Chain A
Amino acid sequence: MAIGPKQALYLLAHPVQLRSIIQWKLWHEPVHKRDPSKEPDTVKSCFHFLDLTSRSFSAVIQELTPELLLPVCLFYLVLRGLDTIEDDMTIPIEEKEPLLRNFKQYMETDGWTFDKNGPDEKDRELLVHFDDVIVELKKVKRPYYDIIADITVKMGNGMADYALNAELNANGVQSVEEYEEYCHYVAGLVGDGLTRLFVEAKLANPHLLGRPDLAESMGQFLQKTNIIRDVEEDFRDNRRWWPKDIWSKYVDKWEDIFKPENRAKALECSDEMVLNALKHTEDCLFYMAGMKEQSVFNFVAIPQAMAIATLELVFRNPAIFDKHIKLNKGDACQLMLESTQNLRVLCEVFRRYVRRIHKKNDPRSRHFLAISVQCAKTEQFIETLFPQQDPTKLAHDGKPGELAQQPNMQVSEAFFLLAAVLGVLFLVGGLMIGSAWLLGARFDQVFRDFDEKVKAGKSLVSSAATAIPSAIRDEL
């Protein structure tokens, strides 16, 4: 992590953040560490491309348990390969569609590579050397491979449908349903695939397979948070994922949301987007309670912790309509420290950030109460996971005959208490003044002094008072 002079200055002024960075660098001990010296060249190549194509996921993937290390890496690379084809506007749609729909066949063809990506496509190298990925895919355990292939087919078809949807490409997402469907294809499916990999490796609770909505929420939460944060960047790239059914309540034309004169409306619109994302928090925490191994927990928890913090960062933040904003490094390191321990610590992160969101909430927004409720519901869910109160203990404490608390003072009682306090105050005060007088203090002098000052003040006031009418006269 390179730190520029500007950042160094910032960190010097924010020692808590600096401390988090140092702590993370010094004390973070990965649960598992991959050992490149024992890896064949094709594996090394895969991790090389992982580093190239993913900034945020590479590190967490490489700390995964050896059982899942390569399968998850390959899963990521395959999906990244699909994405690189979908993203590339230089590939004509007639070519793109079959590539996306038949990607599973290609990834099973020995030696298949693809070099028709435009020169500006940032991840084109991955597809140029895709044969290395294919070699490793062939060696993956069959159940893992089947999961990867299944998700690849689903995502490829989803992407092809989007590429063909002229209406969507021209006008962007219309309804909230379409918005969530988009998030499903780009993120929910990944959640589904990863969950099946974890359960297959016996590193997650198999009941998660019976609750696919939870894995879906994991992906939706990450994707929605990014979509809110990246609104301005996407606008510059001529893309829009905020559904029209939401923003059209606040502005008539999408570009108007970025105009400074519409800030209040834009913020209220972003409230609705944040509220829509916040509804997933309970599912996400519930999902993560199903992780049975530390490295898998870390793998899912780090992005979630970043997401709730990012959601807090973008909430009621007008800057999202001006520039690309992101968490600062100190906070990110602090979050990584906290999300690589256990569910309880992670829950405290969620509680801290929902409380911050609730503190920023504005009563003038029409989503005020709904957001407040969603924050409180997140806290309630944490409470069901880790209850602070134990009813059996409370019932025991409440047994009749035991000492009853008497928190309320009687009014008469309290009155006498106050009288006693005031009495003592006067007595002590009187004694002090009296003894000062006995020792020769000149109170008469003090009062005379004071009198003169008041008189002087009065004359000032009266001269000012006479000055005003003359000023008015001048004005007239």
Chain B
Amino acid sequence: MASQTKPDLGRVLVIGGCGFLGHHVVNQLVEKYTASVSVIDLRCIRNRRTESDGVKYFDADITDSAKLQSVFEEIKPDVVIHTASPPAQASVSVTHELFKKVNVDGTQAVVDACRSTGVKALVFTSSASVMSDNVSDLINADERWPVIRGEKQTEYYSETKAAAEQIVLEANRTGPSNLLTTAIRPSGIMGEGDTMTIYHLINIYRSGKNNIQVGDNNNIFDFTYAPNVAHAHLLAARALLLTHTSSTVPLDTERVDGEAFIVTNDSPVYFWDFCRAVWAAAGSDKGVKGVWTLSKDVGLVLGFLSECFFGLIRKPPTFNRQRIVYSCMTRYYNITKAKRRLGYKPLVSLDEGVRRSVKWFLEQEKENEKS
């Protein structure tokens, strides 16, 4: 592999390139591709590459379309990878306004800037959650499953992601330069830089709640190691550039432009087994004996009581019914489409991904303690 020439992507702009997923995209661009890489982020402080890698960083808010336009004009990107979004399940709650402003209006601004500056390919980070109503199971779902919108979509984050995805895909083959677009829908991202999945799970372990299981643990979930998701983005970018050079529209069964792709580690796993693997990587030496199993119904009652309690003391609940529902839900996907059309295959196994993510988390913590 090393002896092969690195694929050329031209001038690539990564929006949100200092963020969790974005910085993995930047890492791969630097390490595995020939590209002139630029990054836009709110404040380019975290996750920066060293000076010698030649990545150019621009501080910009994507909801400021004038500023965005001027950065686009300066860079003149061939490819734009748009990964920016407020976190879906952060430790601090994000307001609906912010989700809408960044995900919907911001994405519209990105699409406008792409069209007016002759960008050839736009890859957008959507979310596999756009297909979930957060209650019903998704069993081996693929891209034919409907996107859940409106009042059926109980997570506002997913609603805004779906709206943004629609904007991006409808912009396909429009504009003077014939912009090509694609959306990647990852499920359950975790990895180095993760402040959600791994963070929450390690908190549960630290507070000694890892001996509780809700539901029968036969529910299957998809978690995805972030560098694999980044890899899928860049495969999509390559495919779009290739399509862009061709004068004919590809066959429907081979098309990448105007399409959404679900991306996972191709390693569906029982929900609580994933949690236990994270806990084991974080140092837990517990087996499954002595684990309390609560039925989903009991869990829902407890979640409800917790909501009442936190409602009375007027604080956001640390534990609620939606968490119970998630931990009992089946939600896994079939990624045949990404495999066939993008040539996607996870670079790192789920097992190895968990180990690396937890290791990063623990090291990070040590460094923070020192400083």
Chain A residues in the interface with B (C-beta under 8 A): 355, 358-359, 361-364, 368-370, 372-373, 375-377, 379-380, 383-384, 387-389, 391-392, 394-395, 398, 400, 404-405, 407-409, 411-412, 414-415, 418
A375, A380, A405 pick with most chain B CB within 10 angstroms: A380
User: In the bound complex, do residue B269 and residue A388 qualify as a contact, i.e. CB atoms below 8 Å apart?
Assistant: no
Which of B149, B218, B308, B349 is in CB contact (< 8 Å) with A355? B218
Chain A residue with the shortest CB-CB distance to B150: A400
User: In the bound complex, do residue A370 and residue B351 qualify as a contact, i.e. CB atoms below 8 Å apart?
Assistant: yes
User: In the bound complex, do residue B220 and residue A376 qualify as a contact, i.e. CB atoms below 8 Å apart?
Assistant: yes
User: In the bound complex, do residue B350 and residue A389 qualify as a contact, i.e. CB atoms below 8 Å apart?
Assistant: no
Return chain A residues, CB-CB under 8 Å to B150: 400, 404
Chain B residue with the shortest CB-CB distance to A375: B270
* Distance between Cα atoms of A376 and B277 in the complex (Å): 15
* Distance between Cα atoms of A395 and B279 in the complex (Å): 38
Give the A-B contact count at a CB cut-off of 8 A. Answer: 113
Given known A-B contacts A363-B286, A389-B141, A394 and B146 have beta carbons under 8 A apart: yes
Return chain B residues, CB-CB under 8 Å to A405: 133, 135, 152
Return chain B residues, CB-CB under 8 Å to A404: 150-152
| B residues 335-365 in Cβ contact with A at 8 Å | 349-351, 354
Return chain A residues, CB-CB under 8 Å to B268: 373, 376-377, 379-380
Which of A369, A377, A391, A392 is in CB contact (< 8 Å) with B351? A369
User: In the bound complex, do residue A379 and residue B220 qualify as a contact, i.e. CB atoms below 8 Å apart?
Assistant: yes
Kindly provide the distance from the CB of B271 to the nearest chain A CB, expressed in whole angstroms. 10
User: In the bound complex, do residue B277 and residue A369 qualify as a contact, i.e. CB atoms below 8 Å apart?
Assistant: yes
User: In the bound complex, do residue A389 and residue B139 qualify as a contact, i.e. CB atoms below 8 Å apart?
Assistant: yes
Interface: B307 (CB within 8 A): yes
Which of B218, B277, B322, B332 is in CB contact (< 8 Å) with A380? B332
Interface: B91 (CB within 8 A): no
Chain A residue with the shortest CB-CB distance to B291: A363
User: In the bound complex, do residue A369 and residue B350 qualify as a contact, i.e. CB atoms below 8 Å apart?
Assistant: yes
* Distance between Cα atoms of A286 and B162 in the complex (Å): 35
Kindly provide the distance from the CB of B347 to the nearest chain A CB, expressed in whole angstroms. 16
User: In the bound complex, do residue B140 and residue A384 qualify as a contact, i.e. CB atoms below 8 Å apart?
Assistant: yes
User: In the bound complex, do residue B148 and residue A358 qualify as a contact, i.e. CB atoms below 8 Å apart?
Assistant: no
Chain B residue with the shortest CB-CB distance to A363: B276
Kindly provide the distance from the CB of B222 to the nearest chain A CB, expressed in whole angstroms. 9
Chain A residue with the shortest CB-CB distance to B279: A363
User: In the bound complex, do residue B140 and residue A363 qualify as a contact, i.e. CB atoms below 8 Å apart?
Assistant: no
User: In the bound complex, do residue B140 and residue A400 qualify as a contact, i.e. CB atoms below 8 Å apart?
Assistant: no
* Distance between Cα atoms of A362 and B279 in the complex (Å): 12
Given known A-B contacts A373-B269, A398-B146, A387 and B152 have beta carbons under 8 A apart: no
Interface: B274 (CB within 8 A): yes
Pick 20 A–B contacts, CB within 8 A, sort by A: A359-B217, A361-B273, A361-B288, A363-B277, A363-B284, A364-B280, A364-B286, A369-B350, A372-B269, A373-B350, A376-B267, A376-B270, A384-B140, A389-B139, A392-B144, A394-B146, A404-B150, A404-B151, A408-B154, A408-B321
Q: Interface of chain A, helix or strand or loop or mixed?
A: helix
Given known A-B contacts A373-B268, A380-B220, A398-B146, A414 and B332 have beta carbons under 8 A apart: no
Given known A-B contacts A364-B280, A405-B133, A384 and B273 have beta carbons under 8 A apart: no
Return chain B residues, CB-CB under 8 Å to A415: 308, 311
Interface: B326 (CB within 8 A): no
Kindly provide the distance from the CB of B135 to the nearest chain A CB, expressed in whole angstroms. 5
Interface: B285 (CB within 8 A): yes
Return chain B residues, CB-CB under 8 Å to A368: 273, 276-277, 280
Return chain A residues, CB-CB under 8 Å to B146: 391, 394-395, 398
Return chain A residues, CB-CB under 8 Å to B308: 411, 414-415, 418
User: In the bound complex, do residue B287 and residue A376 qualify as a contact, i.e. CB atoms below 8 Å apart?
Assistant: no
* Distance between Cα atoms of A45 and B354 in the complex (Å): 60
Hey, what's the 0/1 contact readout for B206-225 against A, CB within 8 Å counting as 1? 00000000000110100000
A368, A388, A411 pick with most chain B CB within 10 angstroms: A411
Return chain A residues, CB-CB under 8 Å to B350: 369, 373
* Distance between Cα atoms of A373 and B311 in the complex (Å): 39
User: In the bound complex, do residue B140 and residue A369 qualify as a contact, i.e. CB atoms below 8 Å apart?
Assistant: no
Return chain B residues, CB-CB under 8 Å to A355: 218
Interface: B156 (CB within 8 A): no
Return chain A residues, CB-CB under 8 Å to B218: 355, 358
Kindly provide the distance from the CB of B159 to the nearest chain A CB, expressed in whole angstroms. 13
Chain B residue with the shortest CB-CB distance to A392: B144
Kindly provide the distance from the CB of A399 to the nearest chain B CB, expressed in whole angstroms. 9
User: In the bound complex, do residue A377 and residue B154 qualify as a contact, i.e. CB atoms below 8 Å apart?
Assistant: no
Hey, what's the 0/1 contact readout for B53-69 against A, CB within 8 Å counting as 1? 00000000000000000
Return chain A residues, CB-CB under 8 Å to B285: 364
Kindly provide the distance from the CB of B149 to the nearest chain A CB, expressed in whole angstroms. 7
Return chain A residues, CB-CB under 8 Å to B277: 363, 368-369, 372
Return chain A residues, CB-CB under 8 Å to B334: 380, 384
Interface: B112 (CB within 8 A): no
Kindly provide the distance from the CB of A133 to the nearest chain B CB, expressed in whole angstroms. 47
| B residues 66-81 in Cβ contact with A at 8 Å | none
Return chain A residues, CB-CB under 8 Å to B133: 405
User: In the bound complex, do residue A358 and residue B273 qualify as a contact, i.e. CB atoms below 8 Å apart?
Assistant: yes
A363, A380, A391 pick with most chain B CB within 10 angstroms: A363
12 additional A-B pairs beyond A389-B141, A418-B304, A418-B308, beta carbons within 8 Å, are A362-B288, A364-B280, A373-B268, A376-B269, A379-B268, A383-B140, A389-B145, A391-B144, A404-B150, A405-B152, A411-B307, A415-B311
* Distance between Cα atoms of A407 and B288 in the complex (Å): 32
* Distance between Cα atoms of A400 and B133 in the complex (Å): 13
Return chain A residues, CB-CB under 8 Å to B280: 363-364, 368
Kindly provide the distance from the CB of B265 to the nearest chain A CB, expressed in whole angstroms. 8
B139, B269, B332 pick with most chain A CB within 10 angstroms: B269
Which of B220, B287, B304 is in CB contact (< 8 Å) with A363? B287
Chain A residue with the shortest CB-CB distance to B219: A376
Chain A residue with the shortest CB-CB distance to B321: A408
Interface: B142 (CB within 8 A): yes
User: In the bound complex, do residue B351 and residue A376 qualify as a contact, i.e. CB atoms below 8 Å apart?
Assistant: no
Given known A-B contacts A376-B220, A380-B334, A398-B148, A369 and B269 have beta carbons under 8 A apart: yes
A373, A388, A394 pick with most chain B CB within 10 angstroms: A373
Kindly provide the distance from the CB of A267 to the nearest chain B CB, expressed in whole angstroms. 12
B148, B270, B307 pick with most chain A CB within 10 angstroms: B270
Kindly provide the distance from the CB of B26 to the nearest chain A CB, expressed in whole angstroms. 28
